[in-house]
């Protein structure tokens, strides 16, 4: 049921960056399905999914070009679920770097040119949240289950998050337009 394709990172629409270990197909698939579901409701600008976990349209061979998509994304969905390798839980370094970049953007001063992202952190409920890295323990982490009912719940939660992000974008655009109108009226000639 894979319809979403990576965005070309330009043009209209809300860019949603899906940060996840590529082995965690469940989270990636449900995220893409949620993007498709919101787009099918025609609520405004289309949502474009960017998902490097599948290496689709992201690995350019240029590190800076590979990093820019997360800085351009307005919504970031982070799956912090670790993987078990050789009997040990390990966190995907790419996901941790993307989380750090998102956290830095969200707490940056106004002098930084990129807007603050709307982001949410997720983790499979089978992994104890108390064992997450210290920085992630500061977040409100959304747990999910990989069962059929868990899939439905995660899908609904992601749709809600995407709709909230669209509403935030609309409010910000309306506020920006009010400020432009107010400024323009100040300089209007009689």
Q: What percent of the chain has pLDDT over 70?
A: 75
d(CA 168, CA 159): 14
CB 58 within 8 A of CB 68: no
How many CA atoms, within 13 angstroms, populate the side-chain half-sphere of residue 150? 13
d(CA 50, CA 15): 7
d(CA 145, CA 154): 8
Instruction: Report all structural domains of the chain as residue ranges with CATH numbers, in order of start.
Output: 14-186 (3.40.50.360)
What tens digit of pLDDT does each residue of 95-125 get? 777 777 777 767 766 665 556 778 888 999 9
Segment (H or E) for 54: none
Most distant pair of Cα atoms in the chain: their distance? 76
pLDDT at residue 4, rounded to an integer:
44
């Amino acid at each position: 049921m894979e319809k979403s394709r990576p965005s070309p990172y330009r043009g209209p629409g809300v860019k949603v960056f899906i940060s996840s270990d590529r082995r965690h197909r469940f989270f990636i698939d449900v995220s893409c399905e949620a993007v498709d579901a919101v787009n099918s409701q025609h609520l405004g600008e289309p949502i474009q999914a960017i998902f490097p976990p599948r290496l689709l349209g992201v690995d350019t061979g240029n590190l800076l070009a590979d990093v820019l998509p997360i800085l351009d994304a307005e919504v970031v969905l982070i799956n912090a679920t670790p993987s078990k390798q050789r009997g040990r839980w390990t966190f995907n370094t790419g996901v941790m770097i993307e989380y750090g970049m998102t956290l830095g953007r969200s707490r940056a001063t106004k002098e930084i040119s990129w807007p603050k992202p709307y982001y949410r952190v997720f983790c499979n409920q089978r992994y104890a949240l108390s064992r997450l890295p210290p920085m992630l323990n500061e977040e409100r982490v959304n747990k999910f289950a990989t069962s059929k009912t868990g899939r439905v719940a995660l899908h609904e939660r992601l749709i809600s998050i995407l709709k909230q992000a669209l509403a935030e974008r609309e409010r910000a655009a309306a506020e920006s337009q009010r400020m432009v109108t107010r400024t323009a009226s100040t300089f209007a000639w009689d």
